[in-house]
């Protein structure tokens, strides 16, 4: 099968012909139709993620068709249209059992990092990492959009729940121009909120407006905290969602929260910050971390797209052999929405 391999840390992809994988007990193999190229994958391409063994095939957001199943697999059969779940979890610990599997205490790694991913014609995964597409989701005509639902839609879908976003609330999205950020704007809007998109690129902010942001802040030109306080008539934000998460963005965001405000970080730079405990108590603020999404949230996100409630924003597609071109554009932050590799 054709595959793009990372052979050394931080070095470009190498195109190779590899043997097609065969499923062992409890595993299945799927033929890839389309696979997303987002920032999570790009960090691995650049050698910025730990615990990687080379050679590696990256990629985890897929539209695919099951081509063979191993012994004991009951939930899948040849020909099933599927997407994938990014985390490899045990399925048995307390966190897996209560449907919070991103917290799995026997975490086994990520698809496209610790096990081979989707920048190839075929992918082999534990059968429970494949999620069947709902019948009314038209993946045949929209394979690129369907591929990215399992991360670009499902991750912000989870945030709308964790932050308990309610209609008419003031919600700011920091890093709104990014591949998941722009879908966060979409999902917060769908939840009925008034959405303020914050980024440092004018072109991306224009796109945020087009897909529904009520206001935008160009953080390269304006002071984020004072603009947010002004835009909310001095009340402050109900929810701030931070995809950038430097000390500076986190402190601006938490200082912009109003009474009952919630702050959500999705990692980003992952820096330390300081906050006032007195203010947290007086306003009953909440500080929340949110990791990816659960399988159930992927299933519900597929359903939302099938119903036409939201639609993923894919603006660029590439051939497998041109994956490096997509990653050049990811490195410079030039991609609006998501890029997808078509097999």
Q: Which residue reads 């430097």 in tokens?
A: 246
Identify whether the C-beta of residue 157 lies closer than 8 Å to the C-beta of residue 183. no
Q: How far is the CB of 295 from Zn ion (least distance, A)?
A: 12
Least separation, in Å, of the C-beta of 94 and Zn ion?
8
> CA 142 to CA 308: how far, in whole Å?
13
* DSSP string over 19-31: PPP---TTEEEEE
Residue 46 is a binding residue for Zn ion (CB under 5 A): no
Q: Does 129 bind Zn ion (CB under 5 A)?
A: no
Q: Residue 304: which H helix or E strand, with range? A: helix 295-306
Note whether 5 binds Zn ion by CB under 5 A.
Answer: no
Q: What are phi and psi of 69, to 5 degrees?
A: -125, 145
Instruction: Quote the CA–CA distance of 220 and 237 in Å, as a whole number.
Output: 20
Least distance from C-beta 90 to Zn ion, angstroms?
Answer: 4
**90 is an interface residue for Zn ion by CB under 5 A:** yes
Q: Is 111 in the site for Zn ion (CB under 5 A)?
A: no
| Least separation in angstroms between CB 32 and Zn ion | 27
Nearest approach in angstroms of CB 25 to Zn ion is 19
**Nearest to Zn ion of 111, 237 (CB atom):** 111
At 307, list the tokens.
């119903």
Question: Can you state the angle between helices 181-190 and 202-210, rounded to 10 degrees?
Answer: 30
Does the protein bind Zn ion through residue 88 (CB under 5 A)?
Answer: no
CB of 107 to Zn ion, least distance (A): 7
Which of 1, 52, 93, 342: binder of Zn ion (CB under 5 A)?
93
Decide: is 57 part of the binding site for Zn ion (CB under 5 A): no
Residue 310: how many other CB atoms lie within 10 Å: 19
Give the tokens for residue 298: 């992927």
CB of 88 or CB of 241, closer to Zn ion: 88
Q: How far is CA 19 from the centre of its chain?
A: 30
Question: CA separation (Å) from 212 to 10, 128, 142, 264?
Answer: 37, 35, 22, 21
| By CB under 5 A, residue 342 contacts Zn ion | no
89 forms part of the interface with Zn ion (CB under 5 A): yes
Span from 95-103, 171-179, 268-276, 289-297 in contact with Zn ion (CB under 5 A): 95-103
Out of 3, 5, 30, 96, which residue is the one contacting Zn ion (CB under 5 A)? Answer: 96
Q: Which residues bind Zn ion (CB under 5 A)?
A: 89-90, 93, 96, 104
């Amino acid at each position: 099968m054709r595959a793009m391999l990372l052979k050394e840390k931080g070095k470009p992809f190498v195109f190779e012909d590899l043997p097609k994988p065969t499923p062992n007990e409890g595993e299945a193999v799927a033929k890839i139709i389309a696979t997303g190229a987002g920032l999570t994958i790009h960090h691995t391409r650049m050698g910025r993620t730990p615990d990687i063994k080379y050679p590696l095939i990256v990629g985890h957001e897929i539209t695919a068709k099951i081509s063979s199943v191993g012994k004991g697999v009951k939930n899948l059969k040849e020909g099933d249209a599927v997407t994938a779940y990014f985390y490899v979890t045990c399925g048995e610990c307390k966190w897996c059992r209560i449907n919070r599997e991103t917290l799995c205490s026997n975490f086994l790694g990520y698809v496209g990092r610790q096990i081979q991913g989707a920048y190839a014609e075929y992918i082999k995964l534990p059968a429970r990492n494949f999620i069947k597409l709902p019948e009314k989701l038209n993946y045949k005509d929209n394979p690129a959009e369907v591929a990215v639902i399992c991360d670009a839609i499902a991750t912000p879908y989870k945030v709308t729940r964790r932050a308990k976003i309610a209609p008419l609330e003031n919600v700011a999205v920091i890093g709104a121009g990014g591949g998941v950020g722009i879908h966060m704007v979409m999902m917060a809007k769908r939840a009925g909120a008034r959405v303020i998109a914050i980024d440092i690129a004018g072109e991306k902010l224009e796109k945020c407006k087009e897909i529904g942001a009520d206001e935008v802040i160009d953080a390269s030109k304006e002071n984020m905290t004072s603009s947010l306080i002004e835009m909310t008539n001095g009340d402050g934000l109900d929810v701030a969602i931070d995809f950038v998460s430097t000390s500076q963005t986190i402190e601006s965001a938490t200082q912009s929260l109003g009474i009952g405000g919630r702050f959500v970080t999705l990692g980003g730079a992952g820096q330390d910050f300081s906050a006032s405990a007195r203010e947290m108590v007086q306003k009953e603020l909440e500080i929340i971390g949110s990791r990816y999404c659960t399988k159930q949230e992927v299933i519900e996100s597929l359903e939302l797209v099938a119903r036409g409630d939201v639609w993923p924003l894919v603006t660029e597609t590439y051939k497998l052999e041109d994956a490096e071109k997509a990653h050049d554009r990811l490195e410079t932050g030039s991609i609006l929405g998501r890029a997808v590799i078509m097999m």
